[in-house]
Structure 1
Amino acid sequence: MNSTSPTIGVIGIGAMGMGIAKNLHRKGWPIVVRDIRPEAEAEAASLGMRVAATPAALAGQADCIIIVVVNAAQIDDVLFGSGSVIQAAAKGKTVVLCSTIAPEDTMRFSGRLAEAGVAAIDAPISGGPAKAEAGSMSMMIAAPEAVLQPWQPLLEAMAAKRFHISDHVGDGAKTKLVNNLLAGINLVASAEAFALGKRIGLEPRKLFDVIAASSGSSWVFEDRMSRVLENDFEPRAFAHILTKDVGLATAMADAAGYDTPLGDAALARYKLTLERGWSQLDDAAVIKTYES
């Protein structure tokens, strides 16, 4: 990138958003950020990124605004609330919605943005903070080609694996929820089996190595149970976030008249994780519900 490159705004510089901002900043994109946490903004500023006081101030400086906040309520606030993106007269700009939210919320936000002359790209992401910072994460994209075309270099810089699901905003969100439903089920299954092995006296490292090399393995098993081996529950992916995502996925299924018995069981286990006070731990902490 060079001095004539478009400025990119990132609202929500938590684990994934900070990774995205660092990746794009390293690659030379002009970056301006906004977060509700002063410590996150201070970290971004120390790396040479600009910090905006409000979403409106960010939108006034940015050509494209990437939103990576926790949920639909926060998106509603940064897009349409006090000091919001829309209040910056953002006509002609583009908003990239990267958060995991319900498809109907994605479509609702896109419609309201369109009324203000702002384009929307439905682009939920997956892979975790390390892949976000490396630019190697996955992205599920839904938007018309005319909206996507000007921002292809940005999307390529953000995600090594990009899947254009369709031209219809909302289909990216649907795809992400299906993926997260499976990830959530896989994690609970991994925790259940691994905790059983420990309970019956198997040596955890050897058990891990066997499963990782055998038919029971999955990416989620290897990633999360490696943390369990180290008793490391520092959050890379918060337990409360996956609980929210699996809940959205089962609600989407309910609306379609589709039963998800495994998803429902996984959701119950995540809710138990939160009830026992582990919401701010890594989602691998679901194993604690079997061990306690």
Structure 2
Amino acid sequence: MSATQTVQLMDGTSLAKRLVKEAAVKAAEISQRTGAAPCLATVLVGEDPASVTYVRMKRARCAKAGIKSRHIGLPATTTAAELIDTLAGLSGDPKVHGILLQHPCGPHIDERAAFEAIAPEKDVDGVTMHSFAAMSFGLPGFVSCTPGGIMRLLEAYDVDLAGKHAVVVGRSAILGKPVGMLLLAKDATVTYCHSRTADLSRIIQEADVVVAAVGRPRLIRGEDIKPGAVVIDAGYNPGNVGDVDFDTALTRARLITPVPGGVGPMTIAVLLAQTVNAAANQLGIQHH
């Protein structure tokens, strides 16, 4: 990077505020025209402290945006069949427009089977196979919220992805895999890396855009980053530490997301925006 070029932080907090404001305007319009506020159902199995905090935060954001939330807290002993029944019931309830199953659900529950009990039109978290396929094929549907937030950040900062080499570190079903598909749809050349990748540093050094989504604190260091690259840190580890070693990455990147304040706020903003869109679709409202 030339001495004159300075790194710019990608401010997810202020972009998320804008998105939530837009969602709130749409939510108010829906409530006014139908008498029904958009409603997000949150389902939590057990009392994992981090999950409890996440759900509370999501519900507080809903309230601010004029979205009703209905919380279903299930005991840790809930069976897979009971959870699937609960989700199927919410899928069939016309008063509920979006469903969020907070995971992990516990080792005794088949999470994939639970996700598949969510009706695609209510899958505002983008976790079903239907949503993944629609996203991969560029068809209407809901994107996974964190990848959706990442793409909006890249767009807001005018990152042209066509012909660029994007390296995604991580291959989870709701982050790594879908973000790769969304980058591909914008004509990036995408490489997926993971725990079994040989010579990870060398591959990252070739990337114009790096998406770190692996859940290992400071795995990616400044010397791994090509000067002038765009670095998206979607990792969140204890102590507010991302998957990228922020201080050393600052010396090489052109754009970088801070942790916290980068990808995190965008994830919730996309969840709210998608809930409002789901309500509009289900209630047959065209936005002006």
TM-score (norm. length: structure 1): 0.31
State the structure with bigger RCO (CA 8 A, min sep 6), 1 or 2: 2
